A and B are shown apart, each in its own frame.
Chain A
C-alpha cells in the first residue's frame, strides 16, 4: 500500500517477565491511509493494545520494540522524545477504553481541554476556550459552556467518552487510535459513539484505527479489518470481503461468538473453547491449532504464513482455510 499515512512494518514487541520473554506483538504488518479506517479485532490479551502502544511509542520501559513504525514519512521508533511529544496529540491522538479513568478526576473538563489545546496550538486562553466549546458541541454535548466547569464524575459514561474524544480531536490529529472506545459503555451508547467517531473521521479526513474485540463494531464502520491472535495478524482483508468470505477459522469462531437476536432463547453461545496460548511459551505450529476444529497434520508443527486469497488485499494465515463457498 503506497502512500499510507501510517505503516507498521514487521513490528515485534517483547516484554521481559519473570516467567520468560513474552512476545506480545509478533511480526505485524499493517497500513492505514488518510481518511481510511482500519479495525483491529481480537480477544483479550492478543496484543491489540500493545500494538497501539507500539504505534504511539508509549510502551512500558522494559518492553523491546523492533521493526518500523512509519508515520507520514518518518520512522517513529527512531525519533527523539521531544519530537515524539510534539507529534503526539498534534498528529497522533488516542481515545482509551475507559472514560472513567482516562480523564483526570480532579481537573475540570475545561481545564483538560484548554490545556491540551494550548500545549499544541498557539492560541490564547479565550480562543482555546472558544475552541473547547466548539469541540464539545461537535461531539454532541449539550450546553457545552456549562460543561467546561464540571468535573468528570459529574458526567455519565457516554458523556465522558465524548469528552475524551473531544480532547483527542482538539488539535486536528491526522491519525486517531480508538482503543476499545465502546467497551466500557452500554450498548445504546456504543452505536452513538461509533457513529460520532465515524462522522468526525469523515469530516476531518483523518485516518482511524479502531481496536476492539467485537466484530460487530468494525462491520460497516471500517475499510479494512485485521484479525489478531496471540500477537500475530492471522487474517487481514477489506471489510466487505472479510465478512463475505472469511478464510481463517478463528475469524469464523469470533463471528459465531457474537450474540444474535434471532436465535431461540437459552441457546448457548458458541464460545471459543479453551484459552489463548501462554505467550511466554510460543507454540511451534499455528497458535490457534489447540482450539481449532479444523486443526490437522502440519498445523501443530509448522507456522502458517500470511498468504493471499483471491485478491492481494485479503491475506490469511491458515493451512486449512474455510473452503471458498462452503460458508461457515
Chain B
C-alpha cells in the first residue's frame, strides 16, 4: 500500500551502521538501519532503505521513483583519514621546507581534547603525518608574501623529484609551495612539469596543486587540505559513484548529492571532494536555516543534543557563519565549515564522582550507542545521564527508540545507587535529579555565554531544539534566558537528516586577497581595488559554473552570490559579507562595499567601534552558486483546537521532580493535533525522542507540527 508520498532520502553511512531517513510530504519520517558494507557501501545502503520502508509497508521499487532528491553523508572518508589508510601520497614543497608537514601545527597535538587534557601537556601527541618525510621532496623557488618572485623556479629540480617519488611507489602527487595563493605561476609550472614527467614515465598518477583547490593563506592548512584531497577524498569518489548507480537502478530519478562542510550539497563529481569529510552535525543547522526562512525567523540559535555532544550554531540575519580554517580529524584545514560550537555533554555522557572533591563530573566521554548501565547488552559499568532519566521516570524504559531497545530500570537504579547516591550520601532520586540539574545548568551557561559572547542577547533570537536528546532538556536549558520563542519540531530526532534534504545544491569557492585601501584613497585606487576583487570573483564564478556543467546545468540556471571578506587595516578579524552588487568596477561600487562592511561591523560589534579612519583590507573573495533543487515540504495541518484528542493521552507515569514524586501525563507525539496546548507536567513521547514540559512551562503545537515551548510567568 504505497499510500505515502516519499520525498527525501538522506543517508548517513557510519563506520558500523548505515542509517537511512526517508521523509514524506507530511514531514513524517522513518529510519532504517543496516550494517555498513565497507567494500561497496551501496549494498548496506539498500538494506537500510528496505528496513526503513518496511515501517510504511513499502518497497524500494515503489518508493525510490517517487523520491525528489537524495543526499548522502558518510564517514568512510573520515575513517580512511583517521585510521591512516589512505593513498600513498608524495609531496613536493619548497626546498628547505620539507619538514613542515610532519612538524604540523602545535595545536594539532591537542585538537579534539577536553579542556583539562589541553592543559595537561603529557596527554599531547603528534599523530603520524599523512605524508612521511621520505615521500617529500623540495624544489628551489621562492615567492614572497606580496607575490613577488624572489627566487625563480629551478625547473630542472622538478623532474628528478617526481621520478624519485614514483620510484618510492607513491600513488598521487601533491604540490604546495609557499604563497602560491598569491602568485600561482611557480606552482602551476611545477604541476605541468610533474604531469609531463609522468607522461614520459607512462605513469597515470593524479597530481594535485594546492592552488587549483584551495588558493588560500596559511601553509599548513592549505597543504593538509590538498593532501586530504589526494589521500582520502579522491579515493572515496568510486564509493559515491556506486551509491549513485545503485540508486538509479532502483528507479531513482535524481543525482545523489553529498553534504559538504559549507552547508550546501555538492555533486559526487565535484572537484573538491575533501569538503564532504564531515557533514553530520551541519545538517541540523542547514535545516534550522531552511525552517527559519519558511517561518520568517531571521535570528536563530540552533541547539542539538545527541548522545555525545551539545552543538550550538547561530543563524543571524538569515545566514550562518562560516569558519574558514576549521579543524577535523586533528588537522587544521582550509575548508569553509559552518561554524558550530560543541561541548562534550549529551544524554550518553558518563557520570562520575570526583574522588577528591566529591562533586559530580559529567563526561567529557560518553557511552554512545551503548546507552548506559540501564542497557545491559551495552556492557557498560559506568553510569550515564540516560540512567538518571530512567531512574526519574523521564524516559519510558519499554519505549526507548520505539521499543527497539529494552532498558532495565532496576539495573539503572542499582548502578546510580552504588556509583553516585551512596558516595554522595543522597537518595537515588535526588542524586539523579542533581545530575539533570547540573547538565542543564552547564548547557544553559554555555548557551548564554555563546550568544552573549558574540555580542547578542537571547531575547533577539528564537531557539530551535532538536536531536534525539534535545527535547528532553529544552526547558531546562532555555529556562530564564528569555528567548523570543523556543521551537521543537515534532521530527526533532530526524532533523539533521531533514536539514541535509533541505540543503541547497551549492558550490562555494574561496580565494585569499590582500587589497589595502587607505581611508583617504584616491578614486583611482578605489577603482583598482574594485577591479582586483572583481577579477577574483570572475575566476571563482568560472570554477563554480564548471562544476555545475558536470551535472548538466547551464550558467544561466546558476544563481550566483558574491561575497567578500573585509577588515579595518591592522585589525585581526575579518567579516564575511554578501556583496549587494553583482559586479564591482567603479569607485562608487567600492564605496557601496565599504558601507556594507561598516553596517555589518556595527551590527556584530558596536556602532561606536567603527573605525573608517584606519582604511580597509579585503582579505578574500568568495562566490557561492546554487541551482534549484526540490526541498522537503514543511508539514501543514488544519487547526484542530487547544484540547488534545483523547486518544493522544497514553496514561500517567510517576516522575520524580525537584524533591517529590508527581503525576505526569504521557502523550503520544504523533497523535497530537495542530493547536493543542500541553500543560505541565507532561511527557510527549515519540519513538525517537521524548519531549518534556516541566512545571512552569507549557507547549503548543502549531500547524507545521512544531511545538512552541513557553515559560509561564
A binds B: no
**Interface residues of A, Cβ cutoff 8 Å to B:** none
**Interface residues of B, Cβ cutoff 8 Å to A:** none
